[in-house]
Structure 1
Amino acid sequence: MPIPAHNRRASRAVAATLSAAGLIALAAAPAAFGDETAPELVIGGIEPVNGVKPGSSFDLSATVANKGTRAAEKVWVSYGVTRGLDFAEVPSNCRTQQVRSYDEMPERWIAVCAFDQVVEPGTVYTPERPLRVEALDRALNDELRVNVWDVDPGADENGTQPVAGTAPAVKLVEGQAGSEGTARVVNVPVSSVNTADYRVTGAALKGSVGDMVKMKVKFINAGPAWILTKQGERSVSVMITPPAGTSVVKRGQFCQAKGKAYVCGMRSLNEGSQETYTFELKIDKRVANAKGQVALSTEARPFDPNKANDKADITLDVTGGEPTGSTGGSANVSGGSAGGLSTAGDDGTTTNGGTLAETGSSTLPITGAAAAAVATGAGMLFIVRRRRTQSPS
């Protein structure tokens, strides 16, 4: 049975942001349109999953119960997993689609399973065969979301065309009483044993006094894991200090001035992603042994044990002019655009929580006001949101 497309506004009303604070059960669904006899379906039997090894799989079991007073003639159970996970096998009564990031929702896979059978009030049911979930090579800290419906939720219009599963169909069977849940939608964390290697690269500059030179430095997540940035959490930023004796004519995209340094964000923390920060500098004078630096911010990153590549030098070879003895930071003159940035709070945490995959665009619009607001503190996050209307690839 095809899953029809549905209105994005309707989907957002039931698609709250995936949470990372352990097991979270959202409010139970109210009776539809004030009908006190409507079915009241709830999900249960789901626990956090820890210590998964990339390449392995685990079984996902769930229960469905009807706390209402009227039977549900048919039910749909929706399973959503973030991009470090995938469905190893999908029953033929389920359809899957890949949904790209939009708003605060991260990229994810969704499987919607239709059960064409009656769910009676006061009875607990469970799929006769659990859904198999696989941890991919990029898995680290992922999330799982399970939802139950008494109407077809349809397909997410930001996703790929839904595809039917090929494994044998499953049905609901009566389960053990007392295992019923209390909410219509449940989010749980899935943690894997994995690492990610954040790296920065420096630059070697050369020119004469009065010259304009370009400085290009990079941030790279060399993987193998991707990083899910969660709402309100601190995340990595890149601190760039140009060499002494230079002034910044144009700062890099996603960068904001902080004293003599610049704090820079990135579009993506996916495995293999990278961000290049291009600055235009003017060589004002020759300073002996002038050297700048690019370095990662200092928040804890237990998933990244390799600290040797967390900082790199920016060297400057100046010809002409008499050298001075100072090796201090450069003058902080910034004439360029900082690009689109997430709004950050005074404690260095993001208020939008979005981490979006690279699109190749030089500027990416974001939702909300104060797009260029800057927070104090080394752990601030500037991550650009993906264009909400971006088509999935």
Structure 2
Amino acid sequence: MPISPHHRRASHAAVAALGTAGLIALAAAPAAFGDETAPGLVIGGIEPIDGVKPGSSFDVPVTVANKGTGPAERVWVSYSVTRGLDFAEVPSNCRAQQVPSYDEMPEKWIAVCAFDQAVEPGVVYTPEKPLRVRALDRALNDELRVRVGDVDPGADENGTPPVAGTAPAVKLIEGQAGNEGAARFVDVPVTSINTADYQVTGAALKGSVGDTVTMTVKFTNAGPAWVLTREGDRLVTVMITPPAGTSVIKPHGFCEAKGEVYACGTSQRSVNEGGRETYTFKLKIDERVADAKGSVALSTEARPFDPDKTNDKADITLDITGGGSTGSTGSSTDGSGSSTDGSGSSTDGSAGGPPSTGDDGTTTNGGNLAETGSSPWTITGAAAAAVVAGAGTLLIVRRYRDQT
């Protein structure tokens, strides 16, 4: 669970000493430091909210209780909602600010309400009018956090300047006991009736054998909803299979090889509507493979919010231009049954003679002798005739070796 901004703004030394476990224990046991007169404020009265329609509003009923032995002279109640939600109205004794995404936490709105009144031990209070929250068109899986304290939590330093509300101020009134909660903060899921369309885009590659080409594929959330993957749920994975006959020189940083397939993650656990991830690979074209084709596809875990599965997979095509290796003989086929060396010259063995190996490792039947205009049989005949010449034989044979 991401640590709230209020925890992050606490003393760095205190956070380092307590750690996450210490913070959770502190939230669960507000009067744990042995101060017999300290207030022990807890929040409660909130249940998961389900079936919200985008464009509608709902109330957030909360209770504030003091389980300590001393009164709290003032109380602050903070509300935080993720980006699919917003505050319908903010009372004038509250201030609101927008906080962009940072430290892998999603964008959110925060409202901090100050109550300048004492909260006595053993008494349950509730705001005389609950805060009202609106579901936006992009709402789907959102989170609501409510927190109580006896000191001002301050503003999130990463957010916009806080703005005071314009609705009438509210105060705390005594409520019925029995629903006072047990911790200083509570996280509540808010689920809306909405959809999001996850889709992928393939690529069309083109090049010659031996070339290094750039492959770029994309994952997009076409909306209308944004998607916040909740703790414990699987994040979407983009599975990328390069075309046959290619090798990966450099994969994307979010991708891990799983055999011949690359499993690629996302940069955040949330994907905004219209948001996308772009995955770029460097591939080398090793050989010509007929009808070579790769793919990009979404992982197959259940996504009830995404009913359209037709765009969950796309092709990665490869068009090899010019001559190229087939991998088995080192030459490329032009479709006529003979092969070429890339210059249009025949290398089907019709010239006869011993083969030679070129600089690129491919095998041809003319070798470097073709560049001299001489046939290997011509030089062999000359060498035979020069046997009677004694040392001249060595000279001719050495020239033949140099040229081959």
| TM-score normalised by L of structure 1 | 0.75
Q: Is the 8 A contact 2:197 2:221 kept in 1?
A: yes
Q: Which has the higher helix share?
A: 2
Q: Contact 2:289/2:326 (CA < 8 Å) preserved in 1? A: yes
Is residue 312 of structure 1 aligned with residue 314 of structure 2? yes
Report the Cα distance in structure 2 between the residues aligned to 1:86 and 1:124, rounded to whole angstroms. 27
Q: Say yes or no: does 1:321 pair with 2:324.
A: yes
SS in 1 for 2:28: coil
The residue number in structure 1 matching 2:144 is 144
Q: Note the C-alpha offset of 1:70.
A: 1.5
Correspondence for 1:272: 274
The aligned counterpart of 1:31 is: 31
> Aligned pair in 2 of structure 1 residues 175, 231: CA closer, same or farther (>3 Å)?
same
Task: Flag structure 1 segments of 5+ consecutive residues without an equivalent.
Answer: 18-23, 326-393
Q: Flag the structure with larger Rg.
A: 2
Q: CA deviation at 1:164?
A: 0.8
Deviation at 1:234, TM superposition (A): 1.2
Measure, in 2, the Cα distance between the counterparts of 1:123 and 1:264. 53
Q: CA deviation at 1:178?
A: 2.4
**2:77 is aligned with 1:50:** no
Q: Which amino acid aligns with 2:277?
A: E
- C-alpha distance after superposition, 1:284-320 (max 9, x if no partner): 1110110000001111111111100000001111122
1:203: which partner in 2? 203
Alignment of 1:214-363 (within 5 A): 214-268=214-268, 269-319=271-321, 320-321=323-324
Q: 1:313 to 1:104 in 2, by over 3 A?
A: closer
Aligned to 1:8: 9
User: Could you list the per-position Cα deviations for residues 6-50 of structure 1 after superposition, in whole angstroms to 9, with x for gaps in the alignment?
Assistant: 972449959979xxxxxx998434327531111111112111100
My pick for the range that moved more, 24-33 or 85-94, is 24-33
Paired residues for 1:174-189 under 5 Å: 174-189=174-189
Contact 1:288 1:324 (C-alpha < 8 Å) held by counterparts: no
Number of paired residues? 315
Residue in structure 2 matched with residue 190 of structure 1 by the alignment: 190
Within 1, Cα distance between the matches of 2:212 and 2:85?
Answer: 47
C-alpha distance in 2 between matches for 1:271 and 1:46: 28
1:59-80 deviation line (CA, Å, top 9, x unaligned)? 1111111122211111010111
Measured in 1, the distance between the counterparts of 2:42 and 2:158 equals: 26
Once residues 34 and 97 of structure 1 are traced to their aligned partners in structure 2, the CA distance between those partners, rounded to angstroms, is 35
Normalising by structure 2, we get a TM-score of: 0.73
Partner of 1:77: 77
Q: Which amino acid letter does the alignment assign opposite residue 159 of structure 1?
A: G
How high is the sequence identity, in percent, across the aligned residues?
A: 77
**Correspondence for 1:127:** 127
Residue identity matched to 1:306: D
Query: CA 1:7–1:197 in structure 2 vs 1: closer, same or farther (change >3 Å)?
Result: closer
Cα distance in 2 between the residues matched to 1:36 and 1:166:
39
Report the residue type matching 1:321 in the other structure: G
- Matched position secondary structure for 2:228: coil
- Kept in 2: contact 1:75–1:119 (CA 8 A): yes
- Is it true that 1:97 corresponds to 2:97 in the alignment? yes
C-alpha separation in 2, matches of 1:101 and 1:322: 50
Matched position secondary structure for 1:89: coil
Q: Distance in 2 between matches of 1:275 and 1:104?
A: 15
